[in-house]
Amino acid sequence: MTRHDLLAAWRNYLQQSRRRSPHTVRAYCSAAQRLLEHFDLTEWPAVATIPPASLRTFMANRRSDGIGNVSAARELSAIKGFMAFAREQAGMENAAPPRIRGPRIKKGLPRPVTPDDASNLADLVGQDAREAWIGARDRAVLLMMYGGGMRIAEVLSLTGADYPLGETLRVTGKGNKQRVVPVLPVVREGIADYVAKCPWKIDSDGPLFLGAKGGPLSAGMVRKAMARARIALGLPATATPHALRHSFATHLLGAGVDLRSLQELLGHAGLGSTQIYTRVDAATLLETYRKAHPRGSD
């Protein structure tokens, strides 16, 4: 076999069997390629039996290249997955990854935006575009993320067959996990406005959201549009498209939605990922208290 054969099999497994996002596939394949090149490996058994000590040295070299704790942890996770896959390909019974501890990562709290800021961002994105239909498109995308708690990749994966939208929408998220999300009237109206103005034909088997030349809309274009609006409104750099999903979760929790229901709406595999929003809500409440209470700054 060749190095290319190993990477092709790994890429196909991630795409077809695990249904990983394009971004994750690229990152995991890049990590595997660096590993193969470092050890000059071209066979599955050799990949599967890399000694832990050698792997620690490899990761130490990666750290000396300047990658931080988060990047190092992700790379180690990708490599462990690749080695487990190599064990399966080599026919080994034990597919457990090597027992190497990654760097500790201090998890930061999500940074949601306020309901007013979310609305202003969507409106300004709609007004700031060079063409009316592009503004309507970008506004509809942001409204879907905030109104339904959807990831940007989930919104951009919608097809013409999903239109017109009803009161709910079945979404396929990470790990091929399906969930039902609400579609608010303002979101349906925003999408209908975009579809009516779009100069390109939206096919039932093609993407619902189209780029300027009629191809699939890229996530990068949405991020750029929101960055321009964020700067114009004087909002912090944390006001990204994904922050709208955080805002959806935080605002629902503050309105009394229970954690289990929120977990289902967000498509989290475990409740632990959802519980972080209780910390966000508590932090927001404390900040409000400090600003409003006469002794809050003492």
- Tokens at residue 82, please? 């690749």
Residue 33 sits in a domain whose CATH number is 1.10.150
Residue 214 sits in a domain whose CATH number is 1.10.443.10
Q: Look over the chain and give the mean of its residue pLDDT values, rounded to a whole number.
A: 80
Taking only the tens place, the pLDDT of each residue in 7-18 is: 999 999 998 887
What is the pLDDT at residue 104? 62
**Number of alpha carbons in the 13 Å side-chain half-sphere of residue 237:** 0
Instruction: State whether 129 and 264 are in the same domain.
Output: yes
- Tokens at residue 31, please? 């990590």
> In the predicted model, what is the mean pLDDT of residues 108-124?
74
Report CA-CA distances (Å) from 230 to 9, 22, 219, 247: 41, 26, 16, 15
Q: Could you tell me the end-to-end alpha-carbon distance of the chain, in angstroms, rounded to an integer?
A: 68
- Residue 104 within a domain: no
What is the pLDDT at residue 296? 44
Instruction: State whether 142 and 58 are in the same domain.
Output: no
Which residues lie below 8 Å from residue 290, measured CB to CB, with a gap of 6+? Answer: 296, 297
Euclidean distance between CA atoms 187 and 4, whole angstroms = 45
Counted domains in the chain: 2
The answer on pLDDT for 288 being more than 50 is no
Domain range for residue 17? 3-90
By the 8 A CB rule, do 117 and 291 touch? no
* Amino acid identity at 105: I
Least confident window among 106-120, 123-137, 152-166: 106-120
Euclidean distance between CA atoms 37 and 47, whole angstroms = 11
Helices (H), the chain: 3-12, 22-39, 44-48, 52-64, 69-89, 115-128, 132-148, 152-156, 185-197, 219-233, 241-254, 259-266, 271-292
- Residue 98 within a domain: no
Instruction: State whether 79 and 125 are in the same domain.
Output: no
Does 1 or 214 have the greater pLDDT score? 214
Does 29 or 119 have the greater pLDDT score? 29
Instruction: State whether 153 and 186 are in the same domain.
Output: yes
Instruction: Tell me whether the omega of the peptide bond preceding residue 164 falls within 30 degrees of 0, making it cis.
Output: yes
Three-point CA angle 287, 290, 294, nearest 5°: 160
Q: Please give the positions annotated as active site.
A: 151, 174, 242, 245, 268, 277
- Residue 102 within a domain: no
Taking only the tens place, the pLDDT of each residue in 23-70 is: 788 989 999 999 999 999 999 999 998 988 898 899 888 888 877 777
Instruction: State whether 82 and 153 are in the same domain.
Output: no
Euclidean distance between CA atoms 130 and 141, whole angstroms = 17
Euclidean distance between CA atoms 148 and 61, whole angstroms = 42
Instruction: State whether 19 and 70 are in the same domain.
Output: yes
Instruction: State whether 287 and 208 are in the same domain.
Output: yes
The model's pTM: 0.58
By the 8 A CB rule, do 36 and 6 touch? yes
Euclidean distance between CA atoms 166 and 206, whole angstroms = 19
What is the pLDDT at residue 36? 94
